[in-house]
Structure 1
């Protein structure tokens, strides 16, 4: 067999495998979550998720938070906000079975996101990138999962919740 022909076939196969891997997380997939208050809360907001290839751009604005305070922010297992207190979303989304921790710093639940910091008016506006979640595909897909804003800051150590307290707002992450 001609070595150039063999090399050409091999190069084509490598390119096809690489493209197939990227197809699992196509750039441009979008999802959104409309946070509604849990019973006794006034917290609301919207969050968007945009797949950018290897990462997801997460941005949003959340209102009705304690002014100047930090709040835990997590993706939960189930897309179910029916309980009134947000508990129907289950625990943090954790397909890898890892310990709770700080987003972007070592091992952590897939659903562990950076805490929100409310301004003096009780509004948290944010934009960050996550390399652990996906919009679509199969691995770490967040579509159909719950999104929760907690009353208290995440301590990033208490297992399995981060001691973030009651759930102030709940949403189901939906593909757009």
Structure 2
């Protein structure tokens, strides 16, 4: 008796063993600066040439808008968040809205808190990268500001005090 093994089941089994590497991702845990209550978590996930930025921040002023930026230094050691430096701007562009033709790489859409002081968000960025290139977010600071960003005042957007700070790390 002769037994013949079909190559099709073997090929199917081998294909099942091949896995697609996970998309590059990063995250930040936001902690309050001195005298503030804002906390949260933010994810950065690479997806089809874009970065999906999503998360939730609580402890914000209810029904208020807050500036939200990636800052140059991944350092939250000072009580006021100033150790994170200025906005992340490796290309030397002027400050502006994240959807404007010209803006800092670190300019993100503002956060809008609900009546409970919670901002839940998800948006896409084509300016940022995770794990590669000049606009790689890993190792930079993430700041939530007390006031809304006016998207015109240079170089900061006049967003006021830093009320939460986190460092973006690879996941």
Say yes or no: TM over 0.5.
yes
Equivalent runs, 1:83-122 vs 2, <5 Å: 83-122=78-117
Q: What is the TM-score of this pair, normalised by structure 1?
A: 0.84
Shift, 1:48, TM fit: 0.4
Q: How does 1:1-176 map to 2 (within 5 A)?
A: 28-176=23-171
Structure 2, unmatched stretches of 5+, are 1-20
- Whether the 8 Å CA contact 1:69–1:117 is kept in 2: the answer is yes
Asked whether the equivalents of residues 27 and 53 of structure 1 are also in contact (C-alpha less than 8 Å), the reply is no
Three-state SS of the structure 1 residue aligned to 2:31 is strand
Are the structure 2 counterparts of residues 27 and 128 from structure 1 closer, same or farther at C-alpha, using a change threshold of 3 Å? farther
C-alpha displacement of 1:27: 7.1
- Structure 1 residue 138: deviation in Å? 2.1
User: Residue 163 of structure 2 aligns to a residue in which SS?
Assistant: strand
SS at structure 2 position matched to 1:88: helix
2:83 aligns to what SS in structure 1?
helix
2:15 equivalent in structure 1: none
Task: Please say which structure displays the higher CA radius of gyration.
Answer: 2
Q: CA RMSD in A?
A: 1.1
Superposition TM-score, scaled by structure 2 size? 0.86
Unpaired runs of at least 5, structure 1: 1-25
CA distance in 1, matches of 2:41, 2:138: 15
Alignment partners' CA distance in 2, 1:134 and 1:51: 7
- Mapped partners of 2:72, 2:103: distance in 1: 15
